[in-house]
Amino acid sequence: MNTQFRKGIIEMCILALIARKDMYGYEIVQNIAYYTEINEGTVYPILRRLTQEEYFVTYLKESTVGPARKYYHITEKGAAYLGALKLDWKEFSNMVEEILRGETHE
Amino acid sequence: MNKLEYLNQLETILKKQHLDKADIDDIIRDYAEFFEEGRRQGESDQEIAAKLGSPELIAQQIMEENGYKVAITPAVPKAEFEFKLPKFKMPKFGFGNKEEASEDGNSAEEKREKKIYNKPESKKGALGCLGSGLLLLMKFFVLLVVGGTLAAVFGLAAVGVGCAFIGLLCGFGAVILGFFAASMAAHFMTLPVTVFAIALCIALLALIVCLGALMLMLMGWCGKVFLQILRYILDWPHKPVIVTVPQAEMPIMCEEAVSQEEEGELYE
């Protein structure tokens, strides 16, 4: 799959995961890796950019089993962005599905 | 490639990309955390590194996300990053291994950053930078104290050695002088005075030598105690300074919850 396209989808998935609950990096990576082959190193750069764009805020939380974990929390801006992405995605996937089903518009 | 090698290599590459020090530290922190989580899941450093992909790839990705199009050259001369470490770890006194030394910085920084709950990344970055700066400054001062104290201890020890030698010289001088004095005195007095003078000189010599040796021992002991205290001070970031409310462990995977529900949300 085209990397740019794939990256866009991964970005949406990351937003969707964190929208449900605050997560730390490894947790996010594992969640995505559960569904699809992913280069695990590429998630952090995306997380970084989304944080820089103020879609996430981060906070450190002490862990009982090891060093502190950096948790990501979605902002209102991030939630709005995710909403827009979801709409786009739905529109796009509907279009693709229609074409794949062989429906045509005369 | 183990965790330390991986992170060092990544840091070396990132430094060439003109990123802020605070940004680089933050990135390294993230990947250090990833390694730690992986280790906790029983993965070896090699497995984790393989999953992450090469440090060059990560750096390239980061630069691309920052809006740069760059090709990162894979060649990283090893010598370059192996040189920097001895500055921090002071091998002579066995302050943990290299890895612990680098994690020191991280954990202390984390403790600082922890106070800045829910603040935007940029602010936290600046404060984190301030924190690490402060920490560095603190370590610098601690090292100054260590260096100063060590110099003092060794200086005093040297004084001790010096005393002992001077004591020896003085003793010999005194013995010779005692002979002269005794032989001169022998003209006026009887033999026992010579014997008395020699005995006195030997006693004096022994006294001075003993004093020097005592001083040396004292210095050695003082040095040991100082080292222990300083080692304790330098090791403090390892100790749990901040006690947090224990919380339930977060599950790494929330398979059931995520799987169908999330898909439904996405597609519908």
Which CATH number, 3.40.190.10, 2.60.40.10, 1.10.10.10, 3.40.718.10, labels domain A3-101?
Answer: 1.10.10.10
Dump the DSSP string for B186-239.
Answer: HHHS-THHHHHHHHHHHHHHHHHHHHHHHHHHHHHHHHHHHHHHHHHHHTGGGS
Residues from chain B that touch A25, judged by Cβ atoms under 8 A, are: 30, 33-34, 37
Identify the helix (H) or strand (E) that includes residue B106.
helix B98-114
Q: Is a pLDDT exceeding 60 seen at residue B98?
A: no
Give residue for tokens 């030394």.
Answer: B101
Asked if B111 and A67 count as a contact pair (C-beta separation under 8 A), the reply is: no
In chain B, where are the structural domains located?
A: 1-84, 142-238
Which tokens go with B102?
A: 């680098």
Per DSSP, what are the bridge partners of residue A71? A24, A59
Chain A contact probe: residue of B254, B265, B268 with most A CBs at under 10 A = B254
Report the pLDDT value the prediction gives residue B193, as an integer from 0 to 100.
67
More confident residue, B18 or B246: B18
Residue A58: φ, ψ to 5°: -120, 155
Asked if A90 reaches chain B (Cβ–Cβ under 8 Å), the answer is yes
pLDDT tens, position by position, B190-236:
666 677 777 777 788 888 878 888 888 888 888 888 878 777 777 65
Query: What is the arithmetic mean of pLDDT over B8-30?
Result: 90
Report the pLDDT value the prediction gives residue A38, as an integer from 0 to 100.
81
Query: What is the arithmetic mean of pLDDT over B96-124?
Result: 43
For residues B129 and B124, give the distance between their C-alpha atoms in angstroms, rounded to a whole number.
8
Chain A contact probe: residue of B48, B65, B244 with most A CBs at under 10 A = B65
pLDDT tens, position by position, A74-104:
999 999 999 999 999 999 999 999 999 987 7
Which tokens go with B234?
A: 């330098």
Q: Is A30–B253 a contact, with Cβ atoms under 8 angstroms apart?
A: yes
Counting every residue written for chain A, the total comes to: 106
Per-residue H/E/C for A20-87: HCCEEHHHHHHHHHHHCCCCHHHHHHHHHHHHHCCCEEEEEECCCCCCCEEEEEECHHHHHHHHHHHH
Q: Which residue of B has its CA nearest to A61?
A: B114
- State ipTM: 0.86
Query: What is the arithmetic mean of pLDDT over B91-114?
Result: 45
Which tokens go with B178?
A: 């005692």
Q: Is a pLDDT exceeding 90 seen at residue B134?
A: no
Residues from chain A that touch B104, judged by Cβ atoms under 8 A, are: none
Query: Lowest mean pLDDT: which of A22-31, A40-49, B166-175, B218-227?
Result: B166-175
In chain A, where are the structural domains located?
A: 3-101
Asked if B99 and B35 count as a contact pair (C-beta separation under 8 A), the reply is: no
Which tokens go with B5?
A: 């090698």
Query: What is the arithmetic mean of pLDDT over B20-44?
Result: 91
For residues B250 and B253, give the distance between their C-alpha atoms in angstroms, rounded to a whole number.
9
Per-residue H/E/C for B21-72: HHHHHHHHHHHHHHHHHHHHCCCCHHHHHHHHCCHHHHHHHHHHHCCCCCCC
Chains A–B, number of C-beta pairs less than 8 Å apart: 129
Counting every residue written for chain B, the total comes to: 268
Percentage with pLDDT > 70 across chain A: 96
Report the pLDDT value the prediction gives residue A13, as an integer from 0 to 100.
93
Nearest to A45 among B37, B65, B119 (CB): B65
Asked if B62 and B13 count as a contact pair (C-beta separation under 8 A), the reply is: no
